[in-house]
Structure formats: C-alpha cells, structure tokens
Structure 1
C-alpha cells in the first residue's frame, strides 16, 4: 500500500515553523515488517541491539555532543523517531511527526539517550533479560556506558527489528562515530539537516521510506503468474528436510546469554587464507563448523541437519523515491542449508566438502531467478501467520479464544511428511571492517562488537563476523529453554572445530 500523508491546515503563516500536529507522515507496515512487529508487542521479541566497545577522550563523549549526533541521525532516518499505531491486525502504521524546530529535534533525541555506569555485560543483560527498553512509542534508543574519569566506553544502539536489519544497525553505528569525530560544528550540521527537510513547507517530503515489498522489482500480476509463483514457493519449501534439534526444557523464565569467542589477528588471517584455499568464505565454513560440532554432540545422526540464515535482499531492490536514501529499512529474506549429520573419523576432507555444499546452497538461494517471487511469497506467508497468531494470543489474553470447530466430514489421509526442523540459525555478517571506516574517526579506537536481539523462549542464534581484524563467534540463546549440557558440548565442540579445521 502506498504511504499515506495526513496534513491538517494551520492558521499560522510562518512557513519556517511546522507544528507536529499539522504535518504527520504515515504508511502501513509491509508484510515483513508486520511479521516482526506483531510478536514484539508483549515483551519485545526481536528487539535488536548493537554493542560497541571503544576508547576515546572523555570530551568526545560529552552528553551534549552525543545528543547532537543522535538528533542528526534521527532527522536523516525518520523511522528511528517514528511511532507505531495499530488500528487492526491488517492496519498497522508508522506515524512520524516531524520536529517543529531544531530545539525540538534535539529535545526528542535527548529523551531517547541514556548514560549508565554499567559494564558491557550488565548493559547487554539488562537489555536482553530486563524490562523492555523499546515500545510502540519509542522505536529506537541509545545507551552509553561509562565509568567516571575513564576513556573506555560502551555504546548500545537499540532498535526494533521491524525498523531495519543488521546492516542498518552497522551503517548507523559507522555514521555515529563519523559524526562524533566531525571537526565542523555539530550544531550547524543539525540546523542544516532540519532546514533541508522541515524548514520550509515547499520542500517537505511527502512520504516515509517504503517497505521491502514495494522496493522489490515488480512482478506480473495475472492469476496465472501468481499461481506459478505459489507452486514454485511450495515446491522449494517441501525440499527442506531436517531432523536435528537441541533437547528443550520448559517451565522456566527466559534468560538469554551470549558466550563469545574471538580469535586474534594472526589466527584470523590464517583462517581466512585456509578458507580461500578451499574455495569457500568463512560464512560457508561456519555452516560446516556447526554441522561438525553437532555431529560430535548428538548420538543419533540418521536425520540430516538443517540450519537457516538471513538473505540480504538489498542488492535486489529497485531505486527508491524521496526520503528513501535512508538505510533504515528491513530488507531480508531467508534460506536454509541442509547437510548430512554423519561425519567419518577422518573428517578433514568431509569438513571442507560440507563447506562447499553450504556455499553451493547459499549461492543457489541468492542467485535463483525466482528470488523476488519467493521473497514476496515468504513475506506474505509470514505476515499472514503473524496476524493469525497475534489474534489468537490477544483472544487468549482476554479469555475469549475458542479453537476452530472440528470438520464433520472425514478428512482424507495425509501423506507422511519428512521432518522439517532447524537446528540453529546463523547470522553471517561477513567482514564488518568493510562497513566501519576506522580512518574516519582516528581518535576513537573500536575494539569490541556484540550484537543480537531479545529472544522468545527457546531462541538460539549464532553470529559470525570479522571485526577489527579478528574473527568473532557469538552464541545468543535462552539458557533456560534448552538442556544445558548439550548446548555447552555444542559450543565447546564448535570452538575446538574452529581451531582444528580453520587454522
């Protein structure tokens, strides 16, 4: 659905002052955004965070200076400062009230900025396991961790997942540090930014950044083409077979932990060199690492192992209109990698063969000519499913939910389906040093990066990336949702496998 512009006429003749009540931008959430928004309502499932540890002068991180940078970013990327208004399960809207002045923009930014005297681990634990930081009224938040008289800082950029994806978070962090190192006046930059978008009614944009579904290349709309796309999607989904999963437990409050391993620069260079020699990227090797680690964790290896990962759809998108130069939008699909669980005793050759299998499956998912249609079908299906589950959850909370009545007629016997269970999700962020332009902020020395999201009970996601020349592996999971010993064995096996095969 196209973005909606609502404008209320004002009696004021001052074109340089735009009252927030007089000019509001709205648009409905797309299916992908809705599939992330609806589960987030109760406890913030999928609310993202990006943590960066760094050293810099105390004056650089003065609260007034950081607030100016945050205000500039929120003007450039309006969804960060928007709200969500849910009228119905099929009518959920972003609503953005532009700041009426530079001072108003700065005040709004300062209200979503907080300084805390906490360590990195305390900041992350509070965000993941404490009361929800974000809400429908506050879609982004900035937290700075600092100690008195110390030049060591921690930054937490927090945003709902329906605002954007991991790439948006990292681009935003890079811009944050770039602005923080600006020699020019940040006050002047903020004034220019506000004037550029909202200083005159004749220049104001008429829409918010568009959702994924309208950014993808258009598809034929005939019923025949729609049917072909649906059959192709269902056929592709039916080929996904996986029968491996971590033993679960229930009845305990969710508690997400994030054990993290990093490998030094020399070891990381050796790992990347070895992957290249075997014709794969570190991302493909991580699928094989998980495959091997699980084979060493479980006794029954008869069923294959299936893992899922996000697919970056940004290279597929078409050029966009006004205000769409922002990177804060959601542009991900999903793909699966299926590998045999059995490993022979002499595992070296098998390990690299499985890595090449993972590379081949990943490439097919990204390069298929049906990528756009499958992404659209997946978005539609996820959106529909999220709406059904949200309605059911709301009715259960109100005590009015009733299960669907049974069919009177005898159902036809169904064919036995192959198991379709994912062992784990992998978030493969690649070389983040390609995003962070360290030379743009020479007085800020980044040294640590951790990322993830608030999870549902029983959630698990492995992150793999290179940052500051080091390979990082990070496992975010609900330690109360799984049988403890199997997860710990898997994590130990994964780290040992990295040292065994990649070095």
Structure 2
C-alpha cells in the first residue's frame, strides 16, 4: 500500500505486475475491456432507475476497484487511486457517473456490438460502467424459444443489463459474482426505502471507521519465499521451452478490427444430454470443447504439418490466495487469474473415428488441466509469468507511445511532461530494451472454461427477475479469437468472439461450423 499524501482523503496502491500487464495495452483502444450481458424479464419496478441507482452505488461502495482511477507515473509505476464516498449523496453521485440507463428504443440497437466495436466506453479514470435498457424487444432472445412461463401474461417486462469493466480490475468470475449480488438487490425482497437504508448504513459505517482500503493484488495474496520465486522462474522457463504448437489460421493485416460474437444455445433437455454424455466419458463439457476445437482445427493444417494445436486458457487462482489481512477490503472484485496452455495432437490417429478422437483429446485435456490446477508450483509459476508479461507490456508501451508521438522520447505525456522510464533506467539503455521473449509455441486461440454459471447466479434469491441468456467477452486486439463455453439458466452456451477482419473471409466461419457440427455428432448425439 502506498502512503496517502497529506490532506488527501483517498487511498492508493500500486498495480501489480499482473494488473500492469493488462493496464498498459488497454490505454489506446481498450484491449481486453470485459463485459457480461444479460437478457432478462423483470417485474416492472425491479429495474426502476431509483432501485438501480441504490444497488449500483452499493456495489461500487463494496467493491472499490470499480470506482478507482489509475494514475500512471512511469512505465513501472502506476497506482490505483480511490476516494471513498463519505455520504449517501456522494455514493449516488459516484454511481451515476458510471451508469447509463435507457428506456425501450433508446441507445444503440445492439449494446454488445457498440461496446466491442465503437468508441471505447471505459478509461483509466472510469474502469466500470453499468448499462441498463428496459423494454428490450423480444428479438434479442438467444435461447431460440420462449418457455410457457415467459408469456406476456407473466407480468414481467423485457430488459437488458450489461456490466463493463477493465480487465486490470477484475476477471470473469468477479463479473458474474458481482452481477449475482446486484440482482439479489434489485430483484430481491428489499423495497426502495430498505435499499436506501442499507446503502446509508454501509456508507456511514465506513465513514465512522475512518479508514479505507483497496483489495490487495493477487501477488500479495500469494506470498512466496525467495526459494519459491526462484523455483517458479525455473519452472516457467522450462514450461515455455517445452511448449509445442504452431498452427495459425490465415490472417489479414492492416484492416480495422471488428469483433463479432456468434453464439449457439442449446435447450435444457439437450444440455442435460450433453452433460450426461461427457460424464459417462469421465470428462466435463469444458474438456470436450477443447477437444472439439483441436479436431476441427486439424482440418486447417497442411498434410506436412505435424505441430500440435496449442490453446490457451485462464486459470482461477482464488483457491491459492491467503486470507486478506485485517482492515483490508474483502471485495471479491479483483484480478485473480493466471494462464496455462493445453497442447493436443493435430493429426488424427489412424483407425479412430472423429468421435473417438474427441474423447481421447478430452481425456488429455482433463489430465493437463488437473496438472495445472494442482501443481505445487502454480502460484510461483504465475508470479514468474506475470513478471515476464509485465516486462513485455512496459517495453511495448514505450514503443507504442514513441510511435504515436515521435520526437517526445518516451512519448506519453502526463501533465505536459514526458512519462519517465522505469527508475534507474535510461531511454536508450534500460533493463527492458529487450523484453523477455514470448513462449516458442503459438496459441492463436483461447478457450475460457466458465463452467456451470448457475452455481454463481443464485436465481432463487432474485425472484422478481428472470435471467434467460448471458453472453460475455472482451474488446479484442486484431486477430483475436476466444471461445467461451458455459451453462446458464440450465442451457449450454458456446460463444465465439473473434475479429472478423483479422482473418481471410470464410476461414473462422468454416472452423466454427466444424466445431458445432462435431458437437452435434459427438456430445449432443441423440
């Protein structure tokens, strides 16, 4: 925790390597800015402006990183700066600055498309935004069909809710946990006066305590000895050296990025069938999705290519975290992910059917995933990887700033002065002039294993709202390709976010068709 300057009513803490590796690349156009979008039906007053204001202000008060600004002092020196709301009016004002509220017909036709491809919504001073639209047309339903209970006679209104945050303040599980908490407030039993009283009580209690704190970084929650850190660096270098994988799809350079998110949703009945089929083969749907991608991807390698397919994925590191110290924010909204890679053969073993190859690869994915999760060096390896990623981010931040502002040395200006290099470094000769090289293997595609989100969303706690579809993702860099697989409201969702202009026409579309066809033939077969 950095000391707070005298007479400053706020708190600050430095960004960790992991957080900095996300913050620096995001500055230009919001690369990795996240979102979760829900279609739902709600009681007419559940999403009233006043209820939303109280619930949103309460969420920002409980999870202060969402209301922080980032101050960049040098490429190795950035801090979260936060001024807690000391009164009810101040808490509501903080929320209002980060709230967009539409009625039916207002705003962009497609909220997700506008967020992914329009002018950046978020910034270093505004890391979160809640977007509500009431009265959304039923045509936005992704489930493909309405249940009888969702008829007009149910007395509920259509709506869209979208939470947008930068990636350096949190991760996917933080997004979903926050929205579960939000719906429990707006869709739960508290009336408007009780919501106001709850916000007043929590703001007053914090003000009486006379101090405020931000949630510590993941690195601070996984303390390591010098020996453990050294072991992690060795393990990380060894793992990178052993990575294989060279399949990349034909790309297009120079075109402006445009992200699309085709999503396939399966009925509750078909989802139950898929879950049972995967369980019978000793794997989860998440394991099977990696296998589907590897088998479909193999079609796009030439016959002479023998490199395996490498797919990256996020690793939830919350189980490794130590409890927060006293007088520190216990907020769950912080960044707590690392990364690992799944490497699967590209060539089909002779004599095996596509279905047999899928189940073989699903088993291999399970073994690699379990090894990554249960590795005794998981925390140490994460620290080493985060350090290397931060070094590369600092290097490219300086390169990008110089390109954007030629002749200004390090380029980026803060308060009319050039941003300095890391302490002890010079412009021409600093410790990161040659950043750590990336791993030798190439993982063009990512698969995010969100699992069963009905374990996060406690639907029974917000009976005045009925969530029926969910999409999630992020603003992507050119050539980005990220698949999300999860179950929600009892339905299986396969959602592919990719840069439509980053690949030759038809390539990703054909790959996606192959993935869906294999899913039908293997895990959804009747």
What TM-score does the superposition give when structure 1 sets the normalisation length? 0.90
Task: Check whether the contact 1:4–1:207 (CA below 8 A) recurs between aligned residues.
Answer: no
Q: In 1, Cα distance between the equivalents of 2:309 and 2:106?
A: 40
Task: Check whether the contact 2:307–2:346 (CA below 8 A) recurs between aligned residues.
Answer: yes
Q: What are the residue-to-residue correspondences of 1:384-403 with 2, within 5 Å? A: 384-400=391-407
Q: Which moved more, 1:148-157 or 1:137-146?
A: 148-157
Residue of structure 2 aligned with 1:317, choices 309, 314, 321: 321
Q: Which residue in 1 is equivalent to 2:83?
A: 97
Check if 1:174 corresponds to 2:180: yes
Task: Check whether the contact 1:305–1:423 (CA below 8 A) recurs between aligned residues.
Answer: no
Q: Which residue in 2 is equivalent to 1:194?
A: 203
Q: In 1, Cα distance between the equivalents of 2:495 and 2:6?
A: 46
Q: Which residue in 2 is equivalent to 1:256?
A: 259
Post-superposition shift, 1:119?
8.3
Q: In 1, Cα distance between the equivalents of 2:345 and 2:395?
A: 34
Provide closer, same or farther for how the CA distance between residues 331 and 418 of structure 1 changes in structure 2, counting only shifts above 3 A: closer
Provide closer, same or farther for how the CA distance between residues 226 and 215 of structure 1 changes in structure 2, counting only shifts above 3 A: closer
Residue of structure 2 aligned with 1:85, choices 71, 75, 84: 71
Q: Which residue in 2 is equivalent to 1:428?
A: 449
Q: Which moved more, 1:117-126 or 1:164-173?
A: 117-126
Provide closer, same or farther for how the CA distance between residues 239 and 118 of structure 1 changes in structure 2, counting only shifts above 3 A: farther
Post-superposition shift, 1:7?
4.3
Post-superposition shift, 1:90?
1.2
Residue of structure 2 aligned with 1:270, choices 267, 273, 277: 273
Residue of structure 2 aligned with 1:43, choices 29, 38, 63: 29
Q: In 1, Cα distance between the equivalents of 2:514 and 2:406?
A: 46
Q: Which residue in 1 is equivalent to 2:225?
A: 220
Q: In 2, Cα distance between the equivalents of 1:290 and 1:453?
A: 20
Q: Which residue in 2 is equivalent to 1:140?
A: 128
Q: Which residue in 1 is equivalent to 2:157?
A: 151
Task: Check whether the contact 1:432–1:465 (CA below 8 A) recurs between aligned residues.
Answer: yes
Q: In 1, Cα distance between the equivalents of 2:439 and 2:244?
A: 6
Q: Which residue in 2 is equivalent to 1:338?
A: 343
Task: Check whether the contact 1:123–1:145 (CA below 8 A) recurs between aligned residues.
Answer: no
Q: In 2, Cα distance between the equivalents of 1:152 and 1:140?
A: 24
Give secondary structure in 2 for the equivalent of 1:61: coil
Post-superposition shift, 1:183?
2.9
Post-superposition shift, 1:228?
3.6
Check if 1:238 corresponds to 2:247: no
Post-superposition shift, 1:158?
0.7
Q: In 2, Cα distance between the equivalents of 1:4 and 1:452?
A: 36
Q: Which residue in 1 is equivalent to 2:473?
A: 452
Q: In 2, Cα distance between the equivalents of 1:5 and 1:182?
A: 38
Post-superposition shift, 1:323?
3.5
Provide closer, same or farther for how the CA distance between residues 418 and 193 of structure 1 changes in structure 2, counting only shifts above 3 A: closer
Give secondary structure in 1 for the equivalent of 2:167: coil
In the TM superposition, what whole-angstrom CA distance separates every residue of 1:401-444 from its partner, at most 9, and x where no partner exists?
A: 69979xxxxxxxxxxx9951113101110000000000001121
Q: In 2, Cα distance between the equivalents of 1:257 and 1:96?
A: 34
Q: Which residue in 2 is equivalent to 1:486?
A: 507
Residue of structure 2 aligned with 1:279, choices 276, 282, 286: 282
Task: Check whether the contact 2:206–2:212 (CA below 8 A) recurs between aligned residues.
Answer: no
Check if 1:439 corresponds to 2:474: no
Q: Which residue in 2 is equivalent to 1:72?
A: 58
Post-superposition shift, 1:298?
3.9
Unaligned runs of 5+ in 1: 9-21, 406-416
Q: In 2, Cα distance between the equivalents of 1:246 and 1:119?
A: 36
Post-superposition shift, 1:366?
0.9
Q: In 2, Cα distance between the equivalents of 1:425 and 1:155?
A: 26
Post-superposition shift, 1:220?
1.9
Residue of structure 2 aligned with 1:34, choices 5, 9, 20: 20
In the TM superposition, what whole-angstrom CA distance separates every residue of 1:92-148 from its partner, at most 9, and x where no partner exists?
A: 010001113111111221121112335896100110000010111111111112238
Task: Check whether the contact 2:70–2:124 (CA below 8 A) recurs between aligned residues.
Answer: yes
Q: In 2, Cα distance between the equivalents of 1:6 and 1:140?
A: 25
Q: In 2, Cα distance between the equivalents of 1:183 and 1:206?
A: 30
Task: Check whether the contact 2:136–2:159 (CA below 8 A) recurs between aligned residues.
Answer: no
